[in-house]
Structure 1
Amino acid sequence: MTQAVYPGFILSRQQNNHKGQLQLCYWVKTDRDVCKVTVMGERTLFFIRARDITAASNLLQENKLPVDIRQVCLQHFDSESMYACYFKSSHQLFLAKQLLKPAMPLYEDDIRHCDRFLMERFIKGSVWIKGITTQKNGYIEVSNAQLKANEYYVPTLSVLSLDIECSGDGVLFSVGLVTETTQWVVMIGQPQDGPDYIDWVEDEVALLVSLMAKVKALDPDIIIGWNIIEFDCVVLAERALALGIELILGRDQQSIHIYKGNYVRVLISGRVVIDGIDTLKNATYHFDSFRLSEVSKQVLGQSKLIDQGDRLEEIVRQFNEDKQSLAEYNLQDCRLVLDIFDKLKLLDFALARTRLTGLELERMGGSVAAFTNLYLPLLHRSGYVAPNLGEHGLSFDSPGGYVMESTPGLFNNVIVLDFKSLYPSIIRTFLVDPLGLTKGLTDAGNSITGFNGGVFSRTEHHLPGLVEDLLFSRQTAKSANDPMLSQAIKIIMNSFYGVLGSTGCRFYDPRLASSITLRGHEIMQQTKTWIEDQGYDVIYGDTDSTFVCLPPDWNASRCNEAGKRLTNLINNAWQVYCRAHFDLESHLEIEFETYYSPFFLPTLRGEQKGSKKRYVGRIEKEGKQELIYKGMETVRSDWTKIAQQYQQDLFTAFFQNQDLLQITEHYIKRIKSGEADGLLLYSKRLGRAVEMYTKNVPPHVKAARKHMMKNPSVKYQKGQKVNYVVTFEGPSVDCLDLEIDYEHYINKQIYPILRMLPNCDDVFFKLTTQGVFSF
């Protein structure tokens, strides 16, 4: 045993009771090895109000629950003194919570001590560890450990992509394992001549034994997969339990543990399990579907080897008849996941997120938890405990972002001015903050008036400083060409408003959220006034973007100069305004974002009123012209490909003053001739199980039901997409022997798009008189 100090990165954390005492356990990746770090002597706690001390003490003594109750230098937001109740084990704390909660409010009782221990030390992933080290088989044990924040350490992590194939009942067929240098498929069946990556085993027991041996040999830090937490790991654990096998996958020869609550948690000691779908969503990637088949097509340009609707049926067939094809399919799924993680740098994003917030690597979602991690230790240092949900008793709805009425029409020159990180900038400028609200309400003379009763202290707050630090870090990340860190910072900053407006956050207060959004309304309206004072028309505005119409005869150079001039004018105006009206420094910054020429804002269908969040404009990028669509059919997955192609060609012709009649005739003839049959598919996801639709059954559900009646082995699941066409017998998945209703597509997919253009009546008239188009 030796004393040592290591820089490292926390892979996982847990707490347990060891000989009646709380034990914290952290698995830490270092440059030398993986360390199992244990911390003893900590006590878990919650807080109670001073008024409840006597009642709490009596209840705990009556039930012989040992506790150490001490007054602490903390108070509630209403200024009442608080006491901490300390317990030697998490089991004692749990029993105390059950006993006291019906009788009195408890504070911060939901925070695990293994999280609080790190949070209060401002440890966010990267850490210095010091303690007594003992070399074990495959890892280093560090006891009597001390931990300290380390801002700079970034680990190099080994990754294993894992995927299972099984029956509909969860009976295992095979498991695939792929790293950067190794690939295996453990397959149940008699050995066959074929690829040497297949490890043939006799049965499920042998498959699990082989899996454990291979995970131990490969020794990954991270295990990734597609829906791996809620499916693959759960199925493996349940099959091991059913077969009476302890599924040992941990670095210290501990078995896998599955915890099911509001969400599924997987604990494999010394390793982290990260799901691809959750990570994509957290990194704000958007796909029509997050199925591996769809994501791999869009990201990698590759399709799965089994990509039909009855995938399970084909997997079962291959297991029974063609095991080598199933092995190849299993292996390819592992490779696709590994390649998606690599190409989109998803692991880099997860690391950056942990280093910013302190959340666990595998923790997905968690905006509220991230905010708590960042804010709570600062609040404690100001002498306050966090409030409980809804203690202020306020529950009115906060307004959303400002959306201006649009001026529909075709414009030759439009520039877009965007406020950079508007809501975080409002927080920073106008000092919107939970603690600041509490202090502002009691010291009106030294405060800033917000909205709906919000008043914020000029001197006591933390959130504006957090925003400032994150903005500086983001700029540093951009300078260092670290896009994943920059993206993680952006997501965290932009989540602050949503968290403060979420009833699931302990800091929720509608006065906070509305003081952000209504200030945004004020900023957008005042900005519009200043622009119009310069003689320009503002034709639209949305949350943080202002669309300015410039004279139609101006060239691109003059429009760009106007954009830069307006940017400087508005930023200077906000500096003067904030100083004059609030005695504050403005951190609002508007940017000249885009120049469109031309630009089109449609009307609402069937009305003269301008549409919102829908437009199309042409930009020049790297010497090439490109059409940008927002909210239009060409970017919506619920429109057919024929409609999307038609809209692209129609607007290209419209902007170039070409013949719209000829374009439309061409598409109508393609549809009627059958040439475009492959482009007529509608694609709609099932929001619930097919049988749950009773009233107003939509077309995609009707198509799914018909298909299931004809094919009893096919079962459409919630979340699955239904691809169908409209025939004379209604919506249908099976359309080979049915006549497609081409008039439906002309009226529902071509007509509405043409109709949005100004002065299109002449085109309709000519189509009608020629007998090509029918109303």
Structure 2
Amino acid sequence: AENEVLQTKADSDDETIREFGGHVSKTNPDFVLTFDGNSVHWPYLVKRADKTKTPLRVGRDGGPPHQSLYGHYSLIGRANVDLLNFADDLYAVKNKTIEDVAKYLGIELSSQNPIDETAYFEHWSNLNQRKNLVKHVEEQTKAILKIGQEAIDYVIQMSALSGLPPDQVIAAAVGFRVDNYLMMETHNLGQLIPSRMEQPIIPYKGAIVLEPKIGLHDNVASLDFSSMYPSLMIKYNISPDTLITGRETDDIFEVPEVRHRFRNHPSGFYRIVLTKLIEARKTTKAELKRTAPSDPRYTLLKAREKAIKVMTNAVYGYAGWAGARWYSKEVAESAAALGRETINRAISIAKSLGLTVFYGDTDSLFVNHDEKLVQKFQGEIDRQLGLEINLTEVYKRILFTEAKKKYAGLKTDGQIDVVGLEAVRGDWSNLARDVQNTVLRMVLEDAKPDRAATYVKGLAADLRSRMLPLSAYVIWKTLTKPVAAYEVNAPHVEAAKKMAKEGWSVTAGDKVGFVITKKTGKLYQKAEPHYKVSTDDIDYDYYVNNQIIPAAARILEVLGLTENQLIAEPGSQARLSGRSERG
């Protein structure tokens, strides 16, 4: 039946593998969807099939999957799409989980209490809990299908644009997509495609990031330039083939600050391809406006517009990518310099109109939301700079920390945007992220720290009695090199060594989940793989002092509270009002 969740009742791996292959052959799909399949599911199935000497028949040729270009698994005659790669293109989704991606796409999940993967074995081992795990996996399977239905048009459109097959285009790094697109355009222009040369990685000064105005600010607008870097590259003809290295002085443009020089005419390769992309996006957006959401073409056009936007904005970074066929440090450096100049001019325009600039990053600015002034600002950007800047979000209240690229805002619909803080980082425990999210919401809703401080103190005082699941304490960290290559003793490295001794294959790129236990010794000696411990083994003091308090203090210190005040006794007279520095 359509959209049926299939469960195997087999008692052995070989029967399960044969039954799975039979289902795939019978269904005969064009697309096979997974979430993290290239890293987890396919490698596991291949290894189990090899161990049991059971044919894994999933291709249209009846053959097994095999690892192919860009690290993805290829199924002959089918497009194997790992939706985790699709999630990587959703820049607004910080935690790349099925639940968070589904939420972003507006997909409702039937279960509001998903089972953490660290608890799978425990649930499977307990017959009473096993049915809950089966139900959870069923729901995740349905969610993956729904995400796939949302993603498939984008995958196909990106494939058509880049010329890469659907299973490859979503797995390929952005640079390879651009590379393939530029090769097709070069062929269309009747020009030769340069060979890929091994390039040294040469750093250059990047985009401007302003110092934030620290504290809470009410009614703040976020504005983003539309295709700022591509537009500047078109305007000033910034391209590898227009770069002047000699003494030529006629009909040239010299880039401010870096002083690289480019010919104004004729149009360079980058100007030609970027103009084509921007015009294609304008045409698609215009057609999208004329198309009713109920029209079957609507989702297709929306996906096409997104694919063109992603490709257009990627060309700027591509020029400085060491793997680029059309590599040019001068081009990347010049585009970045023009971007910095543009942002600085935009800031001057905003201030001249009476707007307060709270923060700026790359191609966006945060200003106070005075509707008439913001509209006037947009008009002046168009008139003076010839660029388009769009109002992307209005925050009821926003909090900037002392660090760049770290802020959180309460949107008018009650949702919270979090950027750069522990709440969206993958190397903190779920406990730390949950605490910080709760603190952020309380502070942004209340505009003062009292309720949040009371919550943190209460949690710190009786963490053990909260009976939180083990998954709340697991810390995940990625190995950046083989375990043997580490010279320092770090907790995740020690946990990986213990896993390796037990026969686990752990290497660079793997995420290691560990828990800090009550064992004696240095911190790294107290780290244990998560599957070897229970909540009785947890060092609760460590999690209070090194996870809960720091995650909360990152927010509350902005409002005048110190870590010492947060670990004070609940009945103490520590002052909670702090300073709000609200704008």
Q: Is the 8 A contact 2:87 2:101 kept in 1?
A: no
1:565 counterpart (376, 379, 401): 376
Aligned to 2:581: none
- Deviations along 1:161-212, whole A, 9 cap, x unmatched? xxxxxxxxxxxxxxxxx852573637356xxxxxxxxxxxxx83x7666656
- Deviations along 1:690-741, whole A, 9 cap, x unmatched? 9558555445566x479979x9799988644536467696666544266632
Deviation at 1:640, TM superposition (A): 4.2
2:204 counterpart (383, 395, 398): 398
Deviation at 1:773, TM superposition (A): 6.5
Are 1:351 and 2:159 matched, yes or no?
A: no
Aligned to 2:439: 646
Structure 1: 5+ residue stretches without partners: 1-177, 190-202, 550-555, 575-585, 604-610
After superposition, where does 1:633-712 map in structure 2 within 5 Å? 633-636=422-425, 638=428, 639-653=432-446, 655=447, 660-661=449-450, 663-674=452-463, 676=466, 678=468, 681-688=472-479, 692=484, 695-699=487-491, 704=495
Deviates more, 1:560-569 or 1:470-479: 470-479
Q: Which amino acid aligns with 2:371?
A: N
Aligned to 1:493: 312
After superposition, where does 1:455-534 map in structure 2 within 5 Å? 455-461=262-268, 462-476=272-286, 478-479=288-289, 480=291, 481-482=298-299, 483-534=302-353
Deviation at 1:520, TM superposition (A): 0.1
Secondary structure at the counterpart of residue 548 of structure 1: strand
Q: Is the 8 A contact 1:428 1:468 kept in 2?
A: no
Aligned to 1:620: 412
Q: Is the 8 A contact 2:397 2:444 kept in 1?
A: no
User: Could you say if the C-alpha distance between residues 311 and 766 of structure 1 is closer, same or farther in structure 2, counting changes exceeding 3 Å?
Assistant: closer
Q: Distance in 1 between matches of 2:7 and 2:512?
A: 31
- Deviations along 1:512-570, whole A, 9 cap, x unmatched? 11121111001011122222333444342211122335xxxxxx7xx111111111122
Normalising by structure 2, we get a TM-score of 0.74
Deviation at 1:383, TM superposition (A): 4.7
User: Could you say if the C-alpha distance between residues 772 and 738 of structure 1 is closer, same or farther in structure 2, counting changes exceeding 3 Å?
Assistant: farther
Deviation at 1:423, TM superposition (A): 1.8
Aligned to 1:266: 74
Aligned to 1:589: 388
User: Could you say if the C-alpha distance between residues 338 and 474 of structure 1 is closer, same or farther in structure 2, counting changes exceeding 3 Å?
Assistant: farther
Are 1:223 and 2:32 matched, yes or no?
A: yes
After superposition, where does 1:264-343 map in structure 2 within 5 Å? 264-268=72-76, 270-284=77-91, 286=93, 288=95, 290=97, 300=109, 302=111, 309=118, 311=120, 333=137, 336-343=140-147
Deviation at 1:360, TM superposition (A): 0.2
Deviation at 1:241, TM superposition (A): 7.4
User: Could you say if the C-alpha distance between residues 771 and 350 of structure 1 is closer, same or farther in structure 2, counting changes exceeding 3 Å?
Assistant: same
Aligned to 1:48: none
Aligned to 2:10: 187
| Bigger radius of gyration among the two | 1
> Identity over aligned residues, as a percent?
19
Aligned to 1:630: 419
Deviation at 1:264, TM superposition (A): 4.7
How many correspondences in the alignment? 534
Q: Distance in 1 between matches of 2:540 and 2:66?
A: 50
Secondary structure at the counterpart of residue 350 of structure 1: helix
Q: Which amino acid aligns with 1:401?
A: A
Aligned to 1:722: 513
Q: Which amino acid aligns with 1:744?
A: N
User: Could you say if the C-alpha distance between residues 740 and 491 of structure 1 is closer, same or farther in structure 2, counting changes exceeding 3 Å?
Assistant: same
Are 1:384 and 2:384 matched, yes or no?
A: no
Q: Distance in 2 between matches of 1:713 and 1:234?
A: 16
Q: Distance in 1 between matches of 2:568 and 2:58?
A: 69
User: Could you say if the C-alpha distance between residues 682 and 400 of structure 1 is closer, same or farther in structure 2, counting changes exceeding 3 Å?
Assistant: farther
Q: Distance in 2 between matches of 1:256 and 1:693?
A: 34
Structure 2: 5+ residue stretches without partners: 292-297, 528-532, 576-583
After superposition, where does 1:21-420 map in structure 2 within 5 Å? 180-181=3-4, 183=6, 185=8, 187=10, 204=14, 214-229=23-38, 251=60, 253=61, 255-256=63-64, 258=66, 263-268=71-76, 270-284=77-91, 286=93, 288=95, 290=97, 300=109, 302=111, 309=118, 311=120, 333=137, 336-343=140-147, 345-363=150-168, 364-390=171-197, 396-412=202-218, 414-420=220-226
Q: Distance in 2 between matches of 1:530 and 1:602?
A: 25
Q: Is the 8 A contact 2:216 2:398 kept in 1?
A: yes
Secondary structure at the counterpart of residue 187 of structure 1: coil
User: Could you say if the C-alpha distance between residues 636 and 645 of structure 1 is closer, same or farther in structure 2, counting changes exceeding 3 Å?
Assistant: farther
Q: Distance in 2 between matches of 1:743 and 1:244?
A: 49
User: Could you say if the C-alpha distance between residues 309 and 377 of structure 1 is closer, same or farther in structure 2, counting changes exceeding 3 Å?
Assistant: closer
Secondary structure at the counterpart of residue 167 of structure 2: coil
Q: Which amino acid aligns with 2:279?
A: D
Deviation at 1:464, TM superposition (A): 2.9
Name the structure with the higher helix share: 2
Deviation at 1:455, TM superposition (A): 1.1
User: Could you say if the C-alpha distance between residues 182 and 434 of structure 1 is closer, same or farther in structure 2, counting changes exceeding 3 Å?
Assistant: same
Q: Distance in 2 between matches of 1:690 and 1:312?
A: 27
User: Could you say if the C-alpha distance between residues 615 and 306 of structure 1 is closer, same or farther in structure 2, counting changes exceeding 3 Å?
Assistant: closer
User: Could you say if the C-alpha distance between residues 437 and 337 of structure 1 is closer, same or farther in structure 2, counting changes exceeding 3 Å?
Assistant: farther
Secondary structure at the counterpart of residue 503 of structure 1: coil
- Deviations along 1:616-653, whole A, 9 cap, x unmatched? 444434xxx56544334444452342343233323433
User: Could you say if the C-alpha distance between residues 365 and 669 of structure 1 is closer, same or farther in structure 2, counting changes exceeding 3 Å?
Assistant: same
Deviation at 1:248, TM superposition (A): 6.0
Name the structure with the higher strand share: 1
User: Could you say if the C-alpha distance between residues 771 and 228 of structure 1 is closer, same or farther in structure 2, counting changes exceeding 3 Å?
Assistant: closer
Highest RCO, 1 vs 2 (Cα 8 Å, sep ≥ 6): 2
Q: Distance in 2 between matches of 1:241 and 1:716?
A: 19
Q: Is the 8 A contact 1:683 1:721 kept in 2?
A: no
Aligned to 1:150: none
User: Could you say if the C-alpha distance between residues 495 and 341 of structure 1 is closer, same or farther in structure 2, counting changes exceeding 3 Å?
Assistant: farther
1:744 counterpart (524, 538, 545): 545
Q: Is the 8 A contact 1:634 1:645 kept in 2?
A: no
Aligned to 2:294: none
Normalising by structure 1, we get a TM-score of 0.58
